[in-house]
Amino acid sequence: MSKGFRILGVLIAAALLLAAYYTYAPRHAPSGQPALETLDAGNFAELPKAFNDAADRTRILLLLSPT
């Protein structure tokens, strides 16, 4: 039974490390692509202008909800 708890502990530790890496690891956009931005209350007013200024290019708007 002790070996089972050790294996379970290692699996839980690995899952926590992967979750931390996924959450806090730096993200980089490919070269030639502008950096991704997080939309919040401080920069929300810039969204319509940036969207309309890119009318001659393909535009993708992705909204994610935590629920």
The per-residue pLDDT for range 11-34, each reduced to its tens digit, is: 999 999 999 998 888 778 888 887
For residue 19, the 8-state DSSP code is H
Confidence class for position 58, pLDDT limits 50, 70, 90? very high
Residue 32, Ramachandran bin (φ over 0: left; ψ between -120 and 50: alpha; else beta): left
8, amino acid identity: L
Number of Cβ within a 10 Å radius of residue 39: 13
Average pLDDT value over all residues in the chain: 87
